[in-house]
Chain A
């Protein structure tokens, strides 16, 4: 079995949660140790954090990697990784940027948006993916005889939070080779306040008439902030001008495909449900007979005006 590597994303010196998930994913492929790869500039602290999760950590620390530019990191990885390596990436904007090209350069197989791994059978690793907005799942095999690049959906694996490892950090900055690139990072443009695109959000906290009053919109916003979610709504909320039309979900609003859709105080009209294409639906409603419970995956009978603040408080710890 080839060596398994996990690429560690980090932001502002803090490890991404996927660091704790990829180690689990790696173990599902094979029992051996999983090696973390940390790249960046001035990343000793991050590498030490990774060493609490992984038995081995490879560090590539150079100013050229100050911003995670996929093209540059690909070059470094190709130089450092042995042929036949299995590389795990978080499936996200960075993994999508890096993974496919890396698999070509490593001459290995590639699969993305993996939600589960069922183990390895000879040269084939058995993966589970979702299609059609999560309506159906698919068993996929990936031939890892010459290695693989596998992008794992963040949140799909139960994280290993034990932080019980005391990994060895190896600095391979010197082996990274030529790190020039044809793609140059310029800047990050933050979204303008009020300029939301709910169709792009992974998680939506969506409110309906159950919010009752404009003053209560803040309750939803606080919950969304705590969850890292975006607030969306049903038509009556937009009609009442409590939220801007850009936040409306439904046939007359936006069609959304989030990972999780939390419908708070939304009864679930035909027009509204028509705007939700896929995703895990959590419904919270006072009325146990609300139609939303027919389509939701998980339902909670509660007054959102009491439940949402309680959840927020819990999340904020």
Chain B
């Protein structure tokens, strides 16, 4: 099975303390460290495990600039055979639809049976996989936490509320967005990355991909970030006071407002 996994370079929440910049309109980006989006990493591991079982190869692709090279190599060190970097000035500022449009161009350049993305990213909308599938007119499943390869189709599990799993049968080719916890991604050390440091990663521009530059990038983006801000919050915890009944009343309001009650 030929599998394409779409990955993204993101600031790693575990290794960053997100703070506002001095202007107060964006997060402080000077000191950020980046890594592959955690969900994407599970997708690559799943793809490798599928290929280990049924044969084929895994290709990883990202839309980004030369900085994204490191995450492609990281995923190649895990076991992805090929890396592709879709990069073009015209791509910058793309929204989800723009990214999906670029990826559609990447898919058209190969012969893939299965396309995977991570279910979401910390900075993202969890939309690229679903959009790509709709553009390609192939079936899609989100939040996939189990993949079982069968003849010409997959049996997949989706994570739904309450820890339940929704089992589906899906025809190939298709797009799946992969949820964390589906597997235990292998460790990639510095040594593994160095081993693939000299592998060539083809760069694909808008024209290479047959993508109309007007359909991607900032100009085409319908969804845009305006600014960052920190919601008003006092020092430490807001202490609830009063009688137990009063506290409980307030707490229930707070729980509801924050999605703490079902």
Complex partner residue of B229 from A137, A199, A228, A296, CB under 8 angstroms: A137
Q: How far apart sit A260 and B251, CA to CA, in the bound complex (Å)?
A: 12
Determine the residue in chain B with the shortest Cβ distance to A114: B125
Q: Kindly identify, within residues 260 to 281 of chain A, every residue whose CB is under 8 Å from any CB belonging to chain B.
A: 260, 262, 277-278, 280-281
Query: What is the predominant secondary structure among interface residues of chain B facing chain A?
Result: mixed
Give B138-168 as 1s and 0s: 1 = Cβ < 8 Å from A's Cβ atoms: 1111110000000000010111111111111
Contact A141 B142 (CB under 8 A): no
Most buried by A among B163, B180, B228, B247: B163
Contact A282 B254 (CB under 8 A): yes
Stretch of B44-52, B190-198, B232-240 at the chain-chain interface: B232-240
Q: How many residues from A make CB contacts under 8 Å with B?
A: 88
Contact B256 A155 (CB under 8 A): yes
**B209 in the interface (beta carbon within 8 A):** no
Which residues of the partner chain A approach B130 to less than 8 Å between Cβ atoms?
Answer: 96-101, 104
Complex partner residue of A100 from B129, B139, B166, CB under 8 angstroms: B129
**B53 in the interface (beta carbon within 8 A):** no
Contact A293 B236 (CB under 8 A): yes
Query: What is the predominant secondary structure among interface residues of chain A facing chain B?
Result: mixed
**A240 in the interface (beta carbon within 8 A):** no
A and B contact pairs by CB, cutoff 8 A, 19 listed: A109-B95, A110-B96, A131-B122, A131-B228, A135-B230, A136-B18, A136-B230, A137-B231, A138-B228, A141-B224, A186-B169, A197-B163, A227-B261, A278-B13, A282-B255, A293-B237, A298-B237, A299-B239, A302-B247
Closest 9 pairs between A and B when the two form their complex, measured CB to CB: A228-B262, A100-B130, A299-B237, A155-B259, A260-B260, A101-B134, A104-B134, A109-B222, A100-B127
The residues of B with any CB-CB pair to A shorter than 8 Å are: 11, 13-14, 16, 18, 20, 27, 95-97, 100, 119-120, 122-123, 125-131, 133-135, 138-143, 155, 157-171, 174, 177, 180-181, 222-231, 233, 236-240, 244, 247-248, 251-252, 254-262
The residues of A with any CB-CB pair to B shorter than 8 Å are: 17, 70-71, 74, 92-94, 96-105, 109-113, 126, 131-133, 135-143, 153-156, 158, 181-191, 196-197, 199-203, 227-230, 255, 259-260, 262, 277-278, 280-283, 293-302, 306-307, 310-311, 314-315
